[in-house]
Structure formats: C-alpha cells, structure tokens
Amino acid sequence: MKLRELAHSRAGDKGDISNISVIAYQEKDYALLEKYLTPERVKAHFAGIVHGEVLRYALPSIGALNFVMQRALGGGVTRSLALDAHGKCLSSAIMTMEIPDDTDPS
Amino acid sequence: MRHIRIGAGAGYSGDRIEPAIELAEKGEIDYLVFECLAERTIAIAQQARMNDPALGFDPLLAERMQAVLAICSEKKIKIITNMGAANPLAAAAMVRQIAQAMHLKLKVAAITGDDVLDTLKAGDYISDQDIAVNSLGDKLLSANAYIGAAPLVEALAQGADVIITGRVADPALFLAPLIHEFNWAMDDWHRLGQGTLVGHLLECAGQVSGGYFADPGYKDVQGLARLGFPIGEVAEDGSVVITKVTGSGGQVTPATCKEQLLYEIHDPASYLTPDVVADFSAATVREIGPDRVLVQGATGRARPDTLKVSIGYIDSYIGEGQISYAGPGALARGKLAQAIVAERLQLSAAVFDEIRYDLLGTDAIHGAALSAQASEPYEVRVRVSARSGSMRDAIRIGNEVETLYTCGPAGGGGATKTAKEVVAVQSCLLPRRQVTTSVHFE
C-alpha cells in the first residue's frame, strides 16, 4: 500500500537541506514505517532530487520519523531556480512510497 | 499551578491579521507574539534601510499595531515581535507614535545588537559554504546574529508593554515571557528546553491549529477561511496545552502538533538555539479535550558558545519566462517551445550558470522520475528560469520565451517574464561574547 494510507508528513527547509517528517496515523503502524522507510529507500525514492546524504531520526514517543536530506533544494530557497524553492511539495512525494502490508498472511 | 497564555499572532511577514485580533479580543491571553522574520527577509530589509534610513522594518507593522494596540492595552496583553527586522529603533518609534495617536500609555522597548555586519567585515570568518565573509565586498548586505531571550527578559523586567526586535531566534520570542513570569534561571536547561518546544510549536501560528495540514479525505479541516491562531497555555514546569479560541476555524489535534513539532528541525535530540540545546526526542503529545493537546517531556542541555549569524549578500540575477499551450498536442508544442529557447540561448553570447526547463502541470515540481504522466494534459505551461552574473543576461530569458508568441509553436498564450536580483543567505558562527545587546525605551 502507499505510505499515504498509514502516515502524514510535512516538509521544512534550512539552506539546501530539506527535512521531511513521516507521522503514523495509528501508533501501531510506527513499526512498519521504521522497518520499511530506511534512509537508503528514501534516498532512492528521491533520486534526481536529493543529491546528498539522507539521515533518519526516530521519535517512537510520537510514532514519527524525521528525514534530513542534504543538497535537496537546488542550492537553497534563496537562490534556487525551482518553482517550489522551499521544497514544500516534497512531503507529498514521499507519500507515494510503497509499504508492504505485513499483516497480510499471503 | 500558575499558567501563562501566549497567543501567536503571525507566523510570517505576510500572514493574516484577523486571527491576531480574534486572539486579543477573545483569547484571554497574557502575551501576543508576532513572528514575522524569515532568513532572507532581514537582508532585504537591510537593503530597504540602505535606500531610506527610516525604513527596514516589517511593511505590515503599522497595520498590525493599529489593529491590536488598543485591545491589548485595555486587556493588559503584552506584545512581542521581531517586526523590527533591520531597524528596530525606527519601528519602535513608529509604534510609540501610533500609541500616542490612540491616546494609549504604553512602554515600547526596542532590542538592538543583532546587527554584527561591522564585526564580520573586520574579522576572518568562514561561512557554512566555505566562503570568506569579508571576500564578499560590496555584495555583502547584512549580517545578523540570532540572539536569545535575555534582552527581552530584561525589557519585560523594566516594564515593557511592547517589545520590538530584529533577528531573535524564533522560539526565544515565546521563551522570554516564560522566563520572566516563572523566574526560570538562565541555566535551567530542562525548563528552557521545554519553553523552546512551546516556542517552536507556536512560532508558525496557524500551522499548529490546522493550517497547512488539510488533505481532503485523509486530513479534513473545517473553517480554514476563519482559521484560529494558536494559544499556548504554559504551566510553570514548561508543559503546554496547545489550544485556540472556541468557535474559530481549524483544529488542534495530536496530529497537527506532531507535524509542527518536527517542522524545520534536524536532530530532534539537538535543536540548537541561543538559549539552550533543546531535546524534543522524548516529548509526548496527548489530546485532553476538544482542541486541547498537552505537550510535555522536552528537555535540554547547556547552550552553545557560538551564535548563528545569517549573512545576506547579492548572489546573482535570475530571469524567468512562462508561456502556455492548450488543447490537442499541447504537450508536444510545449516541449518544442523549450527546445527552441534552449537552442536560442546556445546561439547567444549570454552566460548562464544554471538553466532550468519546466512544464507546469507535468514535471515542474518533482522532475521526470516522480512525475510519470498517465495521460496527456489538456494544458501545459512552459517555464524557463536561469541564473546569471548580470541583470542584462537574466532579462534575456524572459525575452526569449516571449518571442515564442510570433516565432515559436502554434497557439502559445499568456506569456509573462520577470528578472530579479537574488539576495541569498549563508550563515556562520560567531563567539557569543562578540555580540552585545541593548534595550531602548526611547
């Protein structure tokens, strides 16, 4: 299923770095996010957009992950040529990632 | 336990004004905070001040003050804002004039000391992008240190009713009244960490009360046209209930609070501010009533010895042109238009450091990889933007797109063009002892 079914997200910017939260609607789904949203998978998903390292921070107390993506904003909001210079729309892009349904017995 | 109620009246310079009036009238708040200063805003404000020494503060300052000063004076609500931008003294003088014209007796304080341009020019500082700051020469516009809550606490201790600052760390605008009211020590890292979380939750105003959250069918939010801005009901131990005025639009839920908790922070265990290294990693978020969410569990460690400085400089010039195509074959004509502009620019002598071609509605936001089109769009809009070291070459981009009217594919319409000077921002670190702040009442 798409990540969008399990979680919501907001993107923020600092310089050329984008940070994207992924927050489970239901706390029971947090483990699935932690298992499948590895920094490697997230970096692969954003190929062509994120040119630097992707770091992941876990916040189990609120059922959320925070991804910090380096060199993701075309040089940063103040000089980017992009229409979405802040990378605000990146929160929607992560929602298209596929998460296998571990509860499915097949 | 004693509580202080702080309302957030603005989350950025151009924010709505009505929710702040609603907070002042019906929020039963003790403080109203307007956070209106983004990284680049202060550099642009410095440019405005260079052109006219009386300017350089937030363009909506007068309108906001005229809207709330009388109510706040009557209800003893103190106002704190960074709308002073590059010129807190002139901003405070204007607020005094407005108060006088309204026959209000208010003590208005201005905080200065964040402007460290001369210090940076005189030293050997290297920016986060490995550039020697003093090598920027005439292109250097501004350097402002993120100062902490201390001078604001001082102003409150001296009886300020209104505090106008420039570059203060956003959460410090909210932390200062907590330190003042609860007598927190400036090295009570645990409480300062909690208070910083309060500030971080409130600083973007509507973003924690349902703004920038709605996704119909998944996250429905009522009444966004009448969005209520948040109130933080803060206890002496730093725990906070986020709420809003009853009957206003929007919503305060654990989900809205969690999105804001993680907004624009990197390592949640090390959120660096001038007042404390805050740790949000074990914070909890719990609904305790309708539009009432309790957030607690943040902590903190000793503050950094250096302050972050935002350096504003003239970086380059960006030109842009757009034109639309619609109906059968719109996509093919849009792509042809892009190819024509690309070839024209190659033939010209103009020099561009970077060029970007977008088809709006197709691949402009997330590029080709994430934007695979299932079907042909009815309309596309071609956008070409490029960076250059000269305004003359930047202007050429828009002209090339515009000439597609008579020299490009069939049926192009609605061409627009712009060219602008780019004020960009880098940052560097400055030892704290090199920054001296002052509080001014006249």
How many A×B Cβ pairs under 8 Å?
A: 116
* Same-domain check for residues B280 and B247: yes
Q: Report which of B376, B386, B302, B309 is spatially closest to residue B344, judged by C-alpha positions.
A: B386
What per-residue confidence (pLDDT) applies to B375?
78
A52 CB near a chain B CB, below 8 Å? Answer: no
What per-residue confidence (pLDDT) applies to B39?
83
Q: Is residue B27 part of a domain?
A: yes
* Same-domain check for residues B248 and B384: no
Can you count the helices (H) and strands (E) in chain A? 3, 4
**Which residue of chain B is at minimal alpha-carbon distance from A90?**
B366
What per-residue confidence (pLDDT) applies to B442?
81
Number of Cβ within 10 Å of residue B248's Cβ equals: 21
In this complex, do A12 and B265 lie within 8 Å of one another by their Cβ atoms?
A: yes
Of B283, B304, B325, the residue that ends a domain is: B304
What per-residue confidence (pLDDT) applies to B356?
96
Domain that holds residue B410: 312-424
Report the distance separating Cα B439 and Cα B441, nearest Å. 7
Q: Is residue A90 part of a domain?
A: yes
* Same-domain check for residues B255 and B386: no
Q: Is residue A104 part of a domain?
A: no
> DSSP string of B161-176?
SEEE-SSB-HHHHHHH
B219 CB near a chain A CB, below 8 Å? Answer: yes
Q: Is residue A62 part of a domain?
A: yes
Q: Is residue B416 part of a domain?
A: yes
In this complex, do B423 and A89 lie within 8 Å of one another by their Cβ atoms?
A: no
Q: Is residue A37 part of a domain?
A: yes
The CATH number of the domain holding residue A88 is: 3.30.70
Cβ proximity of B326 and B379 under 8 Å: yes
Domain that holds residue A52: 3-95
Q: Exposed, middle or buried, B278 (CB in 10 Å: 0-12/13-18/19+)? A: buried
What per-residue confidence (pLDDT) applies to B40?
82
B104 CB near a chain A CB, below 8 Å? Answer: no
Q: Where do the DSSP E strands lie in B169-327?
A: 230-235, 240-244, 271-272, 277-279, 284-289, 292-296, 299-301, 306-326
Q: Is residue A15 part of a domain?
A: yes
The CATH number of the domain holding residue B411 is: 3.30.70.1120
Q: One digit per residue, pLDDT tens: chain B, 442 residues?
A: 899 999 999 999 999 999 999 999 999 999 999 999 988 888 889 889 988 999 999 999 999 999 999 999 999 999 999 999 999 999 999 999 999 999 999 999 999 999 999 999 999 999 988 899 989 999 999 999 999 999 999 999 999 999 999 999 999 999 999 999 999 999 999 999 999 999 999 999 999 999 999 999 999 999 999 999 999 999 999 999 999 999 999 999 999 999 999 999 999 999 999 999 999 999 999 999 999 999 999 999 999 999 999 999 999 999 999 999 999 999 999 999 999 999 999 999 989 999 999 999 888 888 877 887 667 899 999 999 999 999 999 999 999 999 999 999 999 999 999 999 999 999 999 999 999 999 999 8
Q: Which residue has the tokens 């009957």?
A: B247
Residue B215 DSSP label: B
* Same-domain check for residues B192 and B339: no
Q: Is residue B61 part of a domain?
A: yes
Q: Is residue A100 part of a domain?
A: no
Q: Name the 3-class secondary structure at A27.
A: helix
Report the distance separating Cα B293 and Cα B336, nearest Å. 54
Q: Is residue A101 part of a domain?
A: no
* Same-domain check for residues B298 and B337: no
Residue A80 tokens, joined: 């980017």
Number of Cβ within 10 Å of residue B313's Cβ equals: 22
B18 CB near a chain A CB, below 8 Å? Answer: no
**Which residue of chain A is at minimal alpha-carbon distance from B319?**
A81
Q: Is residue B146 part of a domain?
A: yes
Q: Is residue B119 part of a domain?
A: no
A2 CB near a chain B CB, below 8 Å? Answer: no
**Which residue of chain B is at minimal alpha-carbon distance from A75?**
B424
Of B241, B273, B304, the residue that ends a domain is: B304
Can you count the helices (H) and strands (E) in chain B? 13, 18
What per-residue confidence (pLDDT) applies to B367?
84
Number of domains chain B is built from: 2
B157 CB near a chain A CB, below 8 Å? Answer: no
In this complex, do B364 and A4 lie within 8 Å of one another by their Cβ atoms?
A: no
pTM here? 0.95
**Which residue of chain A is at minimal alpha-carbon distance from B360?**
A83
* Same-domain check for residues B359 and B226: no
Judge whether residue A105 has pLDDT over 70: no
* Same-domain check for residues B87 and B182: yes
* Same-domain check for residues B278 and B356: no
At A75, the pLDDT band (50, 70, 90 cuts) reads confident
**Which residue of chain B is at minimal alpha-carbon distance from A85?**
B365
* Same-domain check for residues B287 and B348: no
A98 CB near a chain B CB, below 8 Å? Answer: no
What distance in Å separates residue B285's CA from the closest CA in chain A?
Answer: 7
* Same-domain check for residues B280 and B327: no
* Same-domain check for residues B189 and B101: yes
Number of domains chain A is built from: 1
Cβ proximity of A12 and B265 under 8 Å: yes
What per-residue confidence (pLDDT) applies to B103?
98
* Same-domain check for residues B321 and B298: no
B282 CB near a chain A CB, below 8 Å? Answer: yes
A77: chain B residues, CB-CB within 8 Å: 39-40
